[in-house]
Amino acid sequence: MKHDTTRILLIEEDATLAEITAFRLELCDYVVDVAHSAHDAFAAIEANVPDVIITDLVLPDIDGCEFISRLSHDNQSSHIPIMVFSTNTALDQVERAYAAGAKQYLVTPFDPTVLDERVEALL
């Protein structure tokens, strides 16, 4: 898949982390849309269906696993691979994310090359 046409939706409440992550992805020639809440993410998906979704589990308006579950069970977004990135390394949290529908889990802070590899694997 050609990167300059690959759209990634990044959902991250922390503006600095969102900016750094989006910048890294844009360096790899991805088109990146950023949302800071689940509500904004649903609107972004309605406007431009992404090829990959990257989300934090800490969102201001909904539990991250609930958000992933909703995406995974919605006809418009169920086909989109989801990667979680989170500071939470607890096994039960990782298991919850996968059970909700996540395909990848990346612990932050992350190595930028690992981010690149994980996104490529989802594509």
Q: What is the CATH number of the domain that holds 61?
A: 3.40.50.2300
Average pLDDT over residues 108-122: 92
Name the domain count of the chain: 1
DSSP 10-78: EE-S-HHHHHHHHHHHHHTT-EEEEESSHHHHHHHHHHS--SEEEE-SB-SSSBHHHHHHHHHTSTTTT
The pLDDT value recorded for residue 3 is: 63
Domain range for 19 is 3-122
The pLDDT value recorded for residue 16 is: 94
pTM: 0.93
The pLDDT value recorded for residue 5 is: 86
- Bridge partners, 105 (sequence order): 84
Res 4 pLDDT > 80: no
Q: Give the model confidence (pLDDT) of 5-16 as tens digits.
A: 899 999 999 999
Q: Which two tokens stand for residue 117?
A: 């590899």
Res 1 pLDDT > 80: no
CB 68 within 8 A of CB 81: no
Q: Indicate the range of 3-17, 42-56, 78-92 predicted with least confidence.
A: 3-17
Average pLDDT over residues 112-120: 94
Average pLDDT over residues 46-57: 96
